[in-house]
Structure 1
Amino acid sequence: MERTNAWSKYTSEKDLKKVMAFGEDYRKFLSQCKTERECIDFFVEKAEKAGYINLEDAIEKNTKLKAGDKVYAVNKGKMMAVFNIGSESLENGLNILGAHIDSPRMDLKQNPLYEDSDIAMLDTHYYGGIKKYQWVTIPLALHGVLVKKTGEVVKVNVGEDASDPVFGISDLLIHLAADQMDKKGAKVVEGEDLNIIVGSIPGFDKKGEKEKESVKKNILKLLKEKYDIEEEDFISAEIEVVPAGEARDFGFDRSMILGYGHDDRVCAYPSFMALLNTTKKLSKTACALLVDKEEIGSVGATGMQSKFFENTLAELFNLMGDYSELKLRRALTNCKVLSSDVSAAFDPNYASAFEKNNSAYLGRGLVFNKYTGARGKSGSNDASAEYVGEVRAIMDKDKVCWQTAELGKVDQGGGGTIAYIMGNYNMQVIDSGVAVLSMHAPCEIISKVDLYEALLGYEAFIKYA
C-alpha cells in the first residue's frame, strides 16, 4: 500500500510558502540549538513570550491553576514539560507529545587537555550510537557550560561565528593507510582516537628553547584570557563537540534540510510549536515533553526514566486543588502519547538494508512506527491495534499525510525510543516522527514537507485524541 507524496497537497503558492517558511524557522532553530541546554533556553524564551508561566513561580506564589492556563517546567536545564491546561480533570489523562533533544556527539572528558608531539589536543568520549569514522576531518565546534568552584556558570560556544576558529580530528593519509583500510568499519577509527586538535604554537624560554608542554600552556593561557577558565575547571564542565556551521537547504529545489541533530530535534520543534499554535480552549490537557539522554537509554535525572514528569504532574494537581495519589495514578494511566521520534528513511543507495513495503520515505508525511526494537521486537513498545486505529482516524480527519514503517529489515539491526517507558505507566503510546536520511551521521537530511506534516499531525492529535 503506497502512500501519497505529501508535496501533492501544496500546489498553490500560498500553501507552499507555509511549508517553506516553517522549514526556514526550523533550520534557524537547528543551527542555533546544538545541545540540550541550548534547546531548553530557546523553548523557554518562546514559551514566556507566548504567555506560559514557570511552574516554579506558580508553586512559590501558590497560584491556582485553571483551564486555559499555560505552564512550563524545566528540569536541570536539560528537560522540559509544557502544558496547555484543558477543561477536563487531569485525572482523565493528558495528550502528550514526547520527544528527545539530545543527539549523538562527542563529550570532552573531565581531564581532556594534553600535548603530544607539539600538538595540543582534547580527549573525548563519544555519546550515543555513531560511526566513528564519520567524525574525522570535518570542522567541529565546542558548545556547553563550565561551572567554576564559585558556582559561576561560563557558557562556551566556539566554532560557530565566522570569526571563530574551528577544531577537528585528523585522519591517516591514504598513502599510509594500507592497514587501516583492511579494518572493519567499527575499527577504522577507534573511540580513544577521537582526539580534537586545538593548537600548535609552542612557547620558548629566553634562550629560544622550547619549554615542556608549552603548546598546552599556551592554550591554557588563551582560555584564561578569553574565558577565565583554568585547567581544573574542566572537571565540572559539560562541553559537547558538535559539527560546526549552520544547517543548510538541501537540493536544487530546496525541498530538504541538511544539518546536525535532526534526531530528534526535528520532532521536538514541531511538538513544541504545536502547543504554541493551539489557541482554542482544550478539553484534555495537552503536553509537550522534551527529554534528555534518549540516545544512551533515557537514564539519569533528565532522562525519561526519571520521576520528573510524574512529579510535575503531581504539582499541577496540587495547584488545581485536586491532588490525590490515586488521581495521579489514574491520570498517568489515561494519558495518550505520540512518542515523537525519527524513523529511518528508505535510502536507494542502501536498499538492501530496507524492506520496501514497510519503510518510511522522504516526502510522504508523518511516520508511525507501531513498534521499534530489534529482531523479535526486543526492547519495543508495541502499540495496540485499537490505538493505531484511533490515531489513523485523527490524522485522516485533519487530512494529514502519514505513512507507516519499520526500522529496516527485521534482522538488520534495530533501535528504541522513549515509548516503552511511557508504556510502563500503562499509557497508550505509539512512535511517530519524521523520516531521516543518514541518521546519526554528523549531518542528517529531512524533507521540509515531512516536517510540516508532523506539525499538522501533532496539532490534530492535541485537538482530537
Structure 2
Amino acid sequence: MGTPDVDAYIEDFTAFVTASPSSYHAAEEVARRLEQAGFDRLDERDAWPSDPGRRVVVRDGAVIAWVQPAGAEATTPFRILGAHTDSPSFKLKPNPSSAAAGLSQANVEVYGGPLLNSWLDRELRLAGRLATRDGATHLVATGPLLRIPQLAVHLDRGVNTDGLTLDKQRHVQPIWGVETIGDPADIVAHLAALAGVDADEVVGHDVHVVDAAAPARFGRGDVFLAAGRMDNLTSVHAGLTAILDAPADAGHISVLAAFDHEELGSDSRSGASGPFLDDVLARIGAGLGAGVEERRRAFAASSHVSSDAGHAVHPNYPERHDPVNRPVLGGGPLLKLNANQRYATDASGAALWAAACRAAGVPTQEFVSNNAIPCGSTIGPLTATRLGIRTVDVGPPLLSMHSARELAHVEDLAALGAAVGAFLRGA
C-alpha cells in the first residue's frame, strides 16, 4: 500500500485510544492535541472570532474543529469529516452500588449493541464524567477494577453444545470487590475520590464500562491490531490527523465533526441528529457575512465524508457477506453502499472518495450487505438529510465489530488516515 509510515501511525493511534476510554475523554483528547498544535479552543457561550484561524469546540462527548483559511467568504464551501466518539458498552445506572453472594457489584445497563459474550472474563475499567452540585463536570477513569465472571462449564453443561444465553439484567452485572460488614462498597465514592471531589457533591454521572487491556499488535508481521473502541475511534483519529495537516490556504473550510451517541441512534444535543454541526457551521457562516442565500450556496458546494467502521469478510462465516463484493483485511478502507440509503453514498460520492484515495496513493474496496441480512447505518444519512450536503460513507474494515476488543489490519487504518487527509486537502 502507498500509506504513510504505518508503524508511526499505529503507535499514535494506540496512544489516542488509550487516552480515550469514554466519549468525553475522546473529545477532550482531540481538543487537547489540537490546542497543543495551535488551535484556539472556543466556548459556545462566547462570541466567536470571524477572522481566519484554527479552532475547536467541545460539547459534552462531541467535538468539532475547523480551519478557516485566509480569503474565506460567505459562500466558501466546507469539507467535513464526520465520525463518532462513542462505542457499545455498559453504563452505570443510578444508585450503581449493589451486592450479592458477598461480592460488591456495579449495577449497569447495556449501552448500544455490544457483543455481550465478549465482555465476559475480562478485566474492565470505568470511565466517564461526574457532575457536582456547582454544575462542574469532572472526567474520571479507573484502572482494572471490574469483571463479569462467566458461569463455569460444570454448572452449565450444555454451554458448548446448546450455546450461551445471557440475560441483559441478570448475567452482566460486574463484580468489583468483597462486601465487608460495616463498610459497604460505594462505587460513586470510589470514582469521586479518583476525580478529587467530595462524594456528597456528586449529583450525576455518565460512566461507562471499558475493556482494560491495552491495544496490541499481533499476527505474522504484526499486521493485526486488537483494541477496544475501534468502532469508531479509528475514524476520529483519522480526522484528527487530517485536520492537523489541513491547509490554511485552501479554497474551502476544513472541518472535523466527531459526534456522540451514534450507537444509540444519534438523537441528542451532541449527536449527529442534534444541532451541533449546524450550529457551528451557521456561526462560521455568520462571521463571514452569510445570509440564507449564501449559506445554501456554500452547502451546495460542500462535501462530507462520513467515516465509520465496516465489516471485512469473516473467514468462518463467509455466507453472511455479499457473494460478489468481498472486502478483506488489508485491502484498504471501505466505500459503503446501500440501495435503501442506510449509507448515504451515491455515484458522485463514490467519485469523490475515489479521488481522495487516488491522491493519497491507497486502495479502496466496496462494502455492501448480503440481501438477507439487514444493513446497519451511521451518521452519513443523518447529516445529508439535515444539511443537504453531499455525503459519502466510508470506513476501515474490521472483524469482531462491537466486541469489547475489535480487530483491524494496521495498513487499513493508516490508509484511512491518508485518504481522509487527502480529502481535507481538497483532492
Conserved 8 A contact 1:141-1:157: yes
User: How far 1:362 moved relative to its partner?
Assistant: 0.8
Q: How does 1:373-392 map to 2 (within 5 A)?
A: 377-378=339-340, 380-392=342-354
Match of 1:206 in 2: none
Structure 1 residue identity aligned to 2:171: D
The superposition leaves residues 291-324 of structure 1 with CA deviations (integer Å, 9 ceiling, x where unpaired) of 101111011111001111111112112323x131
Higher alpha-carbon deviation: 421-430 or 189-198: 189-198
Q: Provide the C-alpha distance between the structure 1 equivalents of 2:73 and 2:326, rounded to a whole number of angstroms.
A: 39
Shift of 1:384: 2.5
Describe how 1:421-460 pairs up with structure 2 within 5 A: 421-424=382-385, 425-460=387-422
Structure 1: how far apart are the matches of 2:199 and 2:189? 9
- 1:218-259: CA deviation from partner (whole Å, max 9, x where unpaired): x777667665554783x5011111111211112241122110
Q: Percent same amino acid among aligned pairs?
A: 22
Say yes or no: does 1:136 pair with 2:103.
no
Aligned twin of 1:216: 185
Q: Aligned AA for 1:452?
A: A
Q: Contact conserved, 1:380 with 1:416, CA < 8 A, in 2?
A: yes
The offset of 1:184, in angstroms, is 5.9
Q: 2:173 matched to which residue of 1? A: 195
Q: Deviations over 1:85-113 (max 9, x none)?
A: 24443524211110111001100001211
Indicate conservation of the 8 Å contact 1:119/1:215, yes or no. no
* Corresponding residue to 1:357 among 324, 343, 356: 324
TM alignment of 1:142-181, pairs within 5 A: 142-159=126-143, 165-178=144-157
CA distance in 2, matches of 1:57, 1:99: 21
User: Which of 33, 55, 59 is the matching residue for 1:71?
Assistant: 55
- The residue identity in structure 2 corresponding to 1:173 is A
On the 8 A contact 2:91/2:109 being kept in 1, the answer is yes
1:33 aligns with 2:11: no
Partner of 1:207: none
Query: Quick one: structure 1 residues 279 and 329, their matched pair in 2 at CA, closer, same or farther if it must change by over 3 Å?
Result: closer
Residue 245 of structure 2 is aligned with which of 254, 277, 283?
277
Give SS of 1:415's match.
Answer: coil
Tell me by how many angstroms 1:281 deviates.
Answer: 1.6
From the superposition, tell whether residues 215 and 302 of structure 1 become closer, same or farther in structure 2 (CA, over 3 Å). same
The 3 A distance-change label for structure 1 pair 225 and 382 is closer
The CA deviation string for residues 17-69 of structure 1, in whole angstroms up to 9 with x for no partner, is x1111111111111221111111111111111222112338953x63313xx2
Partner residue in 2 for 1:249: 217
> Equivalent of 1:80, from 54, 59, 63?
63
Q: Give distance in 1, aligned partners of 2:114 and 2:340.
A: 21
2:37 equivalent to 1:50: yes
1:280/1:190 Cα in 2 relative to 1: closer, same or farther (>3 Å)?
A: closer
Match of 1:3 in 2: none
The separation in 2 between residues aligned to 1:58 and 1:133, in whole angstroms, is: 43
CA distance in 2, matches of 1:291, 1:366: 21
CA distance in 1, matches of 2:388, 2:363: 28
Residue 278 (structure 2) aligns with: 310
| Structure 1 letter corresponding to 2:236 | A
Contact 2:166–2:172 at 8 Å: present in 1 too?
no
Query: Which SS does the other structure have where 1:357 is aligned?
Result: coil
Question: d(CA) in 2 for partners of 1:70 and 1:24?
Answer: 25
Q: 1:359 to 1:128 in 2, by over 3 A?
A: farther
What is the rounded CA distance, in whole Å, between the counterparts of 2:29 and 2:85 in structure 1? 12
Q: Which residue identity is paired with 1:39?
A: A
Matched, 1:287 2:259: no
The higher radius of gyration belongs to: 1
Contact 1:181 1:188 in 2 (8 A): no
Give the Cα–Cα distance (whole angstroms) in 2 for the partners of residues 91 and 192 of structure 1: 56
Contact 1:370/1:388 (CA < 8 Å) preserved in 2?
Answer: no
Tell me: CA distance 1:156–1:92, structure 2 relative to 1, closer, same or farther (3 Å). Answer: closer
Counterpart for residue 23 of structure 1: 10
State the TM-score, normalizing by the size of structure 1.
0.84
Residue number in structure 2 paired with 1:328: 295
TM superposition shift of 1:180: 5.8
**Structure 1, unaligned runs of 5 or more:** 1-5, 160-164, 204-210, 372-376
State the secondary structure of the residue aligned to 1:193: coil
Task: Note the C-alpha offset of 1:74.
Answer: 1.6
The 2-side partners of 1:382 and 1:79 are apart by 21
What SS does structure 2 have at the residue aligned with 1:263? helix
Distance 1:418 1:31, change over 3 A: same
Number of residue pairs matched? 424
Cα drift, residue 144 of structure 1:
1.4
Displacement of 1:369 after TM fit? 0.8
The structure where helix makes up a greater share of residues is: 1
